[in-house]
Amino acid sequence: MAHSAIVIPVPALEPMIRPRMRRALPDYVFADPESVHAHITVLGPFVSAGLVDDALLERLRGIFATTEPFAFSFAGTRHTFDDGTVHLKPDPAEPFGALTSTLWQAFPDYPPYGDPIKPPLAHLTLDYPWAPRSGDGDDPEPAFPVRCTAETACLNWYEPGKSRTMASFALGGDEGTALPMTDDTLDPGFEQILRRTVPLLGDGHLAPETDLLAAGLDSMAAVQLLAEIEGTYEVIIPDEALLGDIFATPRDLWDLVRKYRGGE
């Protein structure tokens, strides 16, 4: 199921995790080779892609600005949940639990792991019960204990073929980055709307500069597209803004959505 999650990336264990990710969930491997799969989830599943806007990112930035970086380590001991998922436990676990509590208090509609009663403790997933285990001996194995510092939090999107880091935030500071639309990434919710309403897009390649008119966007489809965008992103776009080539490409249309979501 497509979803977002707020995570603390663990780059030190990425060489160990990425091969396992390719075997267990190949469709969820990030296209960006610099992205970090190894992580500890602090809140997830989180908001749908359509709710990720500047206001949300600013709220998250404020929370992480008041969270100081902290040290933790992994002893290397494997633990197993009841469902067979193998994981490592960070030591100490309390800073992760405190951050989860802070985020959950700020976003009460999103209990950790969807379980408001007894969510799992902080952990880093190594293996899933269904994943092929052959070849694990050839995977890079760090020299434990591994010592780490939590300095960054990320808002990740997980969807087959479209998983990526949507934004990152520095702990203890006000810096952070919301990744812009590029030739390879569109806001997932926005892309879904386009594919539903523009007749010839189908499952083919869709980039920010795709010619929507050439893809079959006519006046009737444009009305439906606008209605879906306004409903999904809770924005009202005035008629006077719908002039010129505003429906020419996904980028043109997305820039308009961002403008009016920001209250301009």
Report the CATH number at residue 202.
1.10.1200.10
Residues 19 and 182: their CA atoms lie apart, in Å, by: 26
Residues 124 and 11 in one domain: yes
Indicate the number of domains in the chain: 2
Cβ 208 vs Cβ 251: under 8 Å: yes
Q: Which two tokens stand for residue 176?
A: 């952070």
Last residue of a domain, one of 125, 147, 178: 178
Residues 174 and 202 in one domain: no
Q: Which two tokens stand for residue 121?
A: 């403790």
Residues 166 and 225 in one domain: no
Over the chain (264 residues), the average pLDDT of each successive run of 10 is 94 92 91 88 92 87 94 96 95 97 96 91 94 64 92 93 88 66 62 83 74 87 89 84 84 84 58
pLDDT of residue 109: 96
Cβ 8 vs Cβ 67: under 8 Å: no
Residues 64 and 150 in one domain: yes
Residues 157 and 222 in one domain: no
Residues 8 and 88 in one domain: yes
Q: Which residues partner with 7 through β-bridges? A: 41, 154
pLDDT of residue 263: 52
CATH number of the structural domain spanning residue 144: 3.90.1140.10
Cβ 11 vs Cβ 152: under 8 Å: no
CA angle 180, 157, 259 (to 5 degrees): 35
Residue 183 lies in a domain: no
Residue 210 lies in a domain: yes
pLDDT of residue 258: 80
Residues 79 and 199 in one domain: no
Beta strands in the chain (DSSP E): 3-9, 39-43, 70-74, 79-80, 86-88, 124-127, 146-150, 152-158, 164-170, 176-178
**Tally of CB atoms within 10 A around 46:** 24
Residues 33 and 113 in one domain: yes
pLDDT of residue 55: 85
Residues 76 and 160 in one domain: yes
Residues 195 and 161 in one domain: no
Last residue of a domain, one of 178, 199, 222: 178
Cβ 123 vs Cβ 39: under 8 Å: no
b/e 189-209 (16+ beta carbons within 10 angstroms → b)? bbbbbbeebbeebeeeebebe
Residue 148 lies in a domain: yes
Residue 44 lies in a domain: yes
Q: Locate tokens 């509590």: which residue?
A: 101
Q: Is 141 helix (H, G, I), strand (E, B) or coil?
A: coil
Widest CA span in the chain: 63
Residues 7 and 137 in one domain: yes
Q: Which domain covers residue 244, as residue numbers?
A: 188-261
Residues 159 and 232 in one domain: no
The rounded percent of the chain whose pLDDT value lies above 70 is 89
